[in-house]
Amino acid sequence: MKGFFLTLEGVDGAGKSSHIGHLRELCESLGHEVVMTREPGGTPISEALRAMLLKESMHMETETLLMFAARQEHILSVIAPALASGKIVISDRFTDATYAYQGGGRHFPAERIQILENWVQQQLQPDLTILFDVPLEVARERLEKSREQDRFEREGSAFFERVRAAYHARVSADPGRFYTVDSSRPKADITQQLQDLVKTRLAQHAAQG
Ligand code: TMP
């Protein structure tokens, strides 16, 4: 089977991190080699860019370019080689986050994101993207209970409403790639849903060769 690229998305506090470990175990139990990674990050250079992006104030143009610089390094060093050797890559966020946060949240023009996407990714797109979706009040409540907040997490509710709306627009534009999880449901239900989804999608992917 050629590699399978799975990405996880959602506003901060949507609960995606509580399912990542299970997704990995599930894929491994089905006999696949899995590379778990994240964006921004996933390589030493991209992690250094992440530290800067989460901490330092900057213009949104710089922020968007640094997101794609980190992504370029990540694709060339980690994602593309893993997919070429038939592995499953699970990335905690990818380019949909740029459309949602920089595009939706900061009003950075989507056409310019698309230019960078085409340049950096060429044909690479996730095979499946799971969007963890939750009403904003729930996400905010979870965030406020969490550790020290980073530069994005400190944004206000209006910013996160725009991020969430931009994610919904991404789903509407490409419904076949996305699966939306109602993250306010009990964790065990979500785990079961994800298990069924991933098994089905991997079987379809294998059948397509
Ligand atoms: P995380 O908290 O899920 O690890 O993500 C780090 C933050 O970076 C999160 O608040 C979303 C933000 N982000 C963007 O703004 N644009 C992007 O392209 C990516 C990948 C993340």
Per 3-state DSSP, the chain is made up of helix, strand and coil in percentages (nearest 5) of: 60, 15, 30
106's enclosing H/E stretch is: none
| Residue with CA closest to ligand 1 atom 16 | 98
Known binding residues for ATP are 10-17
Which two tokens mark 114?
Answer: 């698309």
Known binding residues are 10-17
Task: Tell me the pLDDT tens digit for each residue of 120-167.
Answer: 999 999 999 999 999 988 888 888 777 788 999 899 999 999 999 999
Distance 40 CA to ligand 1 centre (A): 6
The pLDDT of 48-60, averaged and rounded, is: 97
| Residue with CA closest to ligand 1 atom 13 | 97
Q: Residue 1 — pLDDT band, cuts 50, 70, 90?
A: low
Q: Residue 13 — pLDDT band, cuts 50, 70, 90?
A: confident
Q: Among 3-7, 64-68, 126-130, 144-148, which stretch is predicted with the lowest mean pLDDT? A: 144-148
User: Of 172 and 14, which is predicted with more confidence?
Assistant: 172
Long-range contacts of 24-29 (CB under 8 A, 24+ apart): 24/90, 26/194, 26/195, 26/198, 26/199, 27/88, 27/90, 27/198, 27/202
Our mutation pick for probing the ligand 1 site, out of 37, 93, 183, counting the most ligand atoms within 8 A of Cβ, is 93
d(CA 86, CA 33): 8
Domain residue extents for the chain:
4-208
Class level of CATH domain 4-208: alpha beta
Give pLDDT, residue 199: 97
Residue with tokens 């298990």: 195
Residue 40 CA, closest ligand 1 atom number: 20
Residue 153 CA, closest ligand 1 atom number: 10
Distance 38 CA to ligand 1 centre (A): 9
- Kindly tell me if the per-residue pLDDT of 209 is higher than 80: no
Task: Tell me the pLDDT tens digit for each residue of 81-126.
Answer: 999 999 999 999 999 999 999 999 999 999 999 999 999 999 999 9
Query: Which residues have C-beta atoms less than 6 Å from ligand 1?
Result: 12, 38-40, 67, 92-93, 97-98, 101-102, 152-153
Residue 38 CA, closest ligand 1 atom number: 4
d(CA 57, CA 115): 24
